[in-house]
Amino acid sequence: MITNLLRGAAAFCLVLTPLTLPSPAAMAATTTETAAVTPVPEVLPLEDAVRKEVAAHSTCWAKAGPPPTEGRQAITISERWQQIHALRERGVGLLEYARRLNLALNTVKRYDRVTEPERLIRAPKYRPTLVDPYRDHLRRRRLENPSVPVTHLLQEIRQLGYTGSSNLLVRYINQGRVEADRPALSLRHLSRCLLTRPDRIKDYQRERIEAARTVCQEMTALADLIHRFAVLLDPADGNAALLSTWITAAQTEDLPHLHAFTRGLEKDRAAVNAALTLQHHNGGTEGVNNKPKLIKRQMYGRASFPLLRHRILLG
């Protein structure tokens, strides 16, 4: 994964400052009606940023798959987004949002951050089923005769080797998975395909990325930015300047979660530049430190110290 190559490049220092409580007069002057909270810019690692961007645009790139469900949850999300942005236009603070709507503060921030409610609606998550191997046969039969009874389809695929139930077949058809242009693709799988190093990507992963790029402009920009960032992970002298160009290009795109990743790079820019330009790194040290921890957790409660010492020395 691309994100693993930057781990161990920077060390952070935690500075503890004494806690100062406000005076009673200052606390009394603050009211919940006028309390406004300035949102703290979010900082995300690349893996989380990509996963959230893929999820935010799932209704776009999933157009080639089963249609998103427009049920009670989608209606609730749209109504909640309208309520929060209506309060925002009136100048109400985030804490007051949460109090009036009886929502968690992080939920309010998530709704306040997006520019349209469609980005909060996720594509349906479907797991592989026993019907998947017979999807092409079902699709061909329904194209030939759209009114073919489900019982006939069940008999046909059972002759082909289907061992599932009729309820599973009915649910599969009602979800629109037969008429979809391609089988359902999970958010996690698409994120993993995007984060795979370009020199290690497989043909089926490349096909799924191209399918997402053709139907979603944001996925095209995201895939291009990830590919350009992967090139920078090979240490070279000019990577620091190229990183500045990459950050500028990323911030011009409508990818707010990726912007959170760029903010993290800027906060510790010196360490990031060292990781991208120098051939030396502390990855080996981190690996040596991680190995005893892994062995210890594997043996916890099952063996004694002599065996632990034996595994570490001979491992």
pLDDT of 58 strictly over 60: yes
Instruction: Give the pLDDT confidence score for residue 262 in this predicted structure.
Output: 92
**Tokens 């906060």 found at:** 267
Instruction: Give the pLDDT confidence score for residue 7 in this predicted structure.
Output: 46
- Contact at 8 Å (CB) between 208 and 190? yes
Give the chain's mean pLDDT.
78
CA–CA separation, 239 and 233 (whole Å):
9
Q: Would you tell me how many other CB atoms lie within 10 Å of the CB of residue 103?
A: 17
CA–CA separation, 23 and 30 (whole Å):
11
Instruction: Give the pLDDT confidence score for residue 242 in this predicted structure.
Output: 94
User: Residues 66-106: pLDDT tens digits?
Assistant: 555 555 667 787 888 888 888 888 888 888 878 888 888 88
Q: What is the DSSP letter of 94?
A: H
CA angle 281, 188, 231 (to 5 degrees): 35
User: Residues 198-257: pLDDT tens digits?
Assistant: 888 888 888 888 888 887 888 899 999 999 999 998 888 899 999 999 999 999 998 888
C-alpha dihedral sign at 134, 140, 142, 145: negative
Which residues lie below 8 Å from residue 213, measured CB to CB, with a gap of 6+?
219, 220, 223
Phi-psi region of 260 (alpha: psi -120 to 50; beta: other; left: phi over 0): alpha
